[in-house]
């Protein structure tokens, strides 16, 4: 699949649920209204759509949410998609998680062929963790990360950098990850959905974060890539990597290789645009014929935009109205 700007689409992110057991302040409002279950694709339908994308050239699947592991029977989907690895057309099956359910599912994920995962963690302070998540149990997440490592999964920590909240923990996070052999990725906050806190006050450019890190750590640019938008540096003192995802200060649209499927079968060709394609209708209208589904995918890729319109502005409303949890980041 090649979009109008010559970019090859090889990466599909699939949100299996809009629900989550946390309420992270930059992702959700405190009181969320979630989708009725009848509107969600079944796990079998999700697998069918994923198989269609793999047939069209997708080589990496990332399962997201909300929190993907709160979806009932989600391991059925992982087992089905795992069969596409090792010769079935898929190079990697992975997920992004908040870590709360990993102690329960880490071994099963490894058995399905998952080899690395991302865990969202914005602070190492248990009290701050409860503030940012509005309800989270820090120790439970630590146990989940430990279980994932014990299962042989490579763990990368994703941290949203926020001014006045965790900007004093940047060096501590690097050291903590280095001691445990974990890579770390910093992410700029993005203007998605009405969430309450003022993003202008939260916003911390990662150019500033990198400058601060360079005062303590020896950082060397590297060409390492995982197929996502992060740009990485090696940290000499820890032997680990730090990634920077910079949708605001330096967007990565020129190399975008991904599209996002929601749990309702809506395909977003860009995280920062509202244009979307309905895949649920052809999926259900033609249960024994993937032709219309493949045609709908082709039509969607043909209108993938050049880039997003994210801007942090005190006077502006969010760039898109949907919350981050709807499309899984």
For every residue of 267-283, DSSP letters joined together read EES-TT---EEE-HHHH
Strand, helix or coil for residue 182? coil
Cis preceding-peptide flag for 66 (omega within 30 of 0) = yes
Question: How far does CA 14 lie from the centroid of its chain?
Answer: 9
- In a 3-state reduction of DSSP, which class is residue 320? strand
CA distance 79 to 81: 6
- The response to whether 190 counts as a known ligand-binding position is yes
Question: Does the annotation flag 177 for ligand binding?
Answer: no
Judge whether 76 is annotated as a binding position.
Answer: no
| Burial class of residue 92 (count of CB atoms within 10 Å of its CB; 0-12, 13-18, 19+) | middle
Pick the closest to residue 242 from 213, 263, 282 (CA basis): 213
Please tell me whether 304 is known to bind a ligand: no
* 311 appears as a binding residue in the annotation: no
26 annotated binding-site participant: yes
The 3-state DSSP class for residue 318 equals: coil
Is 260 annotated among the ligand-binding residues?
Answer: yes
163 in Cβ contact with 212 (< 8 Å): no
User: DSSP code of 253?
Assistant: G
**Ligand-binding site membership of 66 (annotated):** yes
For residues 45-76, one letter each, b for 16 or more C-beta atoms within 10 angstroms of the residue's C-beta and e for the rest, the string is: bbbbbbbbbbebebbbbbbbbbbbbbbeebbe
Judge whether 263 is annotated as a binding position. Answer: no
User: Could you tell me which of 96, 98, 120 has the C-alpha nearest to residue 22?
Assistant: 98
Residue 211, judged by CB atoms within 10 A of its CB (0-12, 13-18, 19+), counts as exposed
Residue 134 assigned to a binding site:
no
Per the annotation, does 259 bind a ligand? yes
Sign of CA dihedral 116, 118, 123, 126: negative
Is 11 labeled as ligand-binding? no
The verdict on whether residue 112 carries a ligand-binding annotation is: no
Q: Which residue ranges are tagged as binding site for S-adenosyl-L-methionine?
A: 26, 66, 120, 190
Q: Which residue ranges are tagged as binding site for GTP?
A: 13, 62, 96, 156, 258-260
Q: Which residue ranges are tagged as binding site for [4Fe-4S] cluster?
A: 20, 24, 27, 253, 256, 270
Q: Which residue ranges are tagged as binding site?
A: 13, 20, 24, 26-27, 62, 66, 96, 120, 156, 190, 253, 256, 258-260, 270
């Amino acid at each position: 699949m090649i979009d109008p700007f010559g970019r090859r689409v090889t990466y599909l992110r699939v949100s299996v649920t809009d629900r989550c057991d946390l309420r992270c302040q930059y992702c959700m409002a405190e009181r969320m209204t979630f989708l009725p279950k009848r509107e969600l694709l079944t796990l079998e339908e999700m697998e069918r759509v994923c198989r269609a994308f793999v047939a069209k050239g997708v080589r990496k699947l990332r399962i997201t949410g909300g929190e993907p592991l709160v979806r009932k029977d989600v391991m059925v989907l992982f087992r089905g998609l795992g069969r596409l690895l090792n010769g079935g057309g898929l190079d990697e099956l992975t997920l992004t998680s908040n870590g709360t359910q990993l102690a329960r599912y880490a071994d099963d994920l490894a058995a399905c062929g998952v080899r690395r995962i991302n865990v969202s963690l914005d602070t190492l302070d248990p009290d701050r963790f409860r503030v940012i998540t509005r309800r989270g149990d820090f120790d439970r997440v630590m146990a989940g990360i430990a279980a994932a490592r014990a299962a042989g999964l490579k763990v990368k920590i994703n941290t949203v950098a926020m001014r006045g909240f965790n900007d004093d923990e940047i060096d501590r996070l690097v050291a903590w990850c280095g001691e445990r052999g974990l890579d770390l990725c910093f992410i700029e906050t993005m203007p998605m959905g009405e969430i309450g806190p003022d993003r202008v006050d939260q916003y911390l450019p990662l150019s500033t974060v990198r400058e601060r890190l360079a005062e303590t750590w020896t950082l060397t640019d590297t060409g390492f890539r995982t197929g996502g938008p992060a740009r990485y540096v090696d940290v000499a003192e820890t032997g680990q990597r730090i990634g920077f995802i910079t949708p605001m200060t330096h967007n990565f649209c020129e190399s975008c290789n991904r599209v996002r499927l929601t749990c309702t079968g809506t395909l977003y060709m860009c995280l920062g645009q509202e244009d979307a394609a309905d895949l649920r209708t052809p999926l259900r209208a033609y249960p024994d014929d993937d032709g219309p589904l493949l045609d709908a995918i082709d039509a969607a890729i043909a209108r993938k935009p050049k880039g997003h319109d994210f801007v942090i502005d005190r006077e502006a409303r969010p760039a898109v109205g949907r919350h981050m949890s709807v499309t899984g980041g």
